[in-house]
């Protein structure tokens, strides 16, 4: 059997990264997976070679207009569209047995609480789909049995994986402070003055501070099973194109907890996870080690003097933070090897 996949928003960062990963997918190499329609808005009618020259094997393919008609008839459809555009396309593609599986890389279906959606996005809630972090409890099984998956935001991916074991095991009071340093590609490909090279180079800047960042709602949703949870999330823009380094801290529930005990809890929680690596004690995660890979690298420590747990994570925001997560979910949904086409080795230096 050959699976066909389409990518809407193929000329954007998320869509083009999905394509890069699919080109190295073993099912693509064997002919079991075919890359079907590639669609976009302003770039419709142009060739892949013109706008995405790094995708050399697809250079002669022509980008089509993003319409339900062009996306229908595939086994799976990736939506790499701006927030607010996925719901209409998904509705038009339908949900019957002949409808494609859909993986939405936007935010439209990530939140289960309509009030939280309205608070952060200011529009009516379109509904919620299966949330696409396989490493969440029950996540892998839910994704495999679903036909609609909401790919998580990049910040909540690294941050949730960093905070979840301590929250689930009751190692900390449910009061997380999360600071994430990110590259510019997380803002997408659209032109914007704050993303200009002359604005970003040699500069660090916090933004959407004091609970205003939309991904705060995802953190609360993902970690909210432990009583009165609070999350203070601060993103910081750095002059790099890829990568997110997250530092998360919370007060220890038991001040006598040791680093060894905390590390043991994390090692047990993520035992067997192919894309989560707990680094050896003393080694710190760094973005250059995970760029190009689908890995989450973690370090876990106890700050004895402060009485706090400190967890650091590093991911590539375009791979595990977006496109890699989408391909990982696609593999589960289509019954393929979950790890297929997803690199575990980074591109350092």
**Which of 193, 234, 229, 213 lies closest to 121 in space, CA to CA?**
213
Beta strands in the chain (DSSP E): 3-8, 33-40, 64-65, 76-79, 101-104, 130-131, 148-150, 175-182, 205-206, 230-237, 244-251, 276-278, 296-303, 308-315
**Which of 301, 321, 292 lies closest to 155 in space, CA to CA?**
321
Among the residues of the chain, which ranges form H helices? 13-23, 26-30, 48-51, 68-71, 86-93, 114-121, 139-144, 154-169, 197-200, 216-223, 259-269, 324-334
Crossing angle for the helix pair 216-223 and 114-121, to the nearest 10 degrees: 160
Q: Are 9 and 81 in contact (CB under 8 A)?
A: yes
Rg (C-alpha) for the chain, rounded Å, is: 20
- The residues near 213 (Cβ < 8 Å, ≥ 6 apart) are 155, 207, 233, 234, 235
Ordered strands of the 276-278 beta sheet: 205-206, 230-237, 175-182, 244-251, 308-315, 296-303, 276-278
C-alpha distances in Å from residue 301, one per residue of 156, 165, 311, 315: 20, 13, 6, 19
Residues classed as catalytic:
154
Please tell me the distance from the alpha carbon of residue 109 to that of residue 141, in angstroms, as a whole number.
Answer: 19
C-alpha distances in Å from residue 323, one per residue of 20, 56, 148, 274, 317: 9, 19, 16, 17, 9
């Amino acid at each position: 059997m050959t699976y066909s996949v389409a990518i809407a928003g193929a000329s954007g960062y998320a869509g083009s990264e999905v394509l890069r990963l699919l080109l190295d997918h073993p099912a693509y190499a064997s002919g079991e997976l075919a890359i079907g329609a590639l669609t976009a808005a302003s770039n419709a009618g142009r060739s892949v070679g013109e706008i995405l020259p790094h995708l050399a094997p697809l250079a002669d393919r022509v980008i089509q207009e993003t319409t339900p008609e062009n996306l229908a008839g595939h086994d799976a459809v990736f939506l790499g569209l701006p927030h607010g555009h996925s719901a209409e396309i998904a509705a038009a593609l339908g949900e019957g047995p002949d409808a494609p599986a859909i993986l939405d890389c936007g935010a439209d279906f990530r939140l289960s609480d309509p009030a939280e959606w309205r608070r952060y996005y200011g529009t009516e809630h379109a509904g919620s789909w299966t949330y696409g972090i396989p490493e969440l409890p029950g996540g892998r099984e839910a994704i495999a049995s679903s036909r609609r998956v909401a790919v998580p935001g990049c910040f909540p991916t690294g941050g949730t994986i960093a905070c979840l074991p301590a929250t689930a095991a009751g190692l900390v009071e449910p009061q997380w402070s999360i600071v994430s340093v990110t590259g510019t590609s997380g803002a997408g490909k659209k032109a914007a003055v704050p993303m200009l090279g002359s604005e970003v180079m040699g500069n660090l800047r916090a933004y959407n501070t004091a609970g205003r960042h939309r991904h705060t709602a995802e953190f609360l949703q993902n970690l909210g099973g432990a009583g009165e949870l609070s999350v203070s999330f601060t993103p910081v823009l750095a002059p790099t194109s890829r990568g997110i380094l997250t530092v998360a801290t919370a007060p220890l529930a038991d001040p006598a907890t040791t680093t060894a005990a905390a590390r043991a809890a994390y090692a047990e929680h993520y035992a067997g996870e192919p894309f989560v690596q707990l680094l050896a004690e003393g080694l710190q995660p760094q973005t250059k080690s995970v760029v190009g890979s689908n890995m989450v690298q973690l370090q876990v420590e106890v700050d004895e003097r402060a009485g706090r747990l400190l967890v650091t994570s590093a991911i590539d925001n375009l791979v595990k933070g977006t496109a890699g997560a989408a391909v990982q979910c696609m593999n589960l949904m289509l019954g393929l090897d979950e790890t297929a086409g997803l690199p575990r080795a980074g591109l350092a230096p």
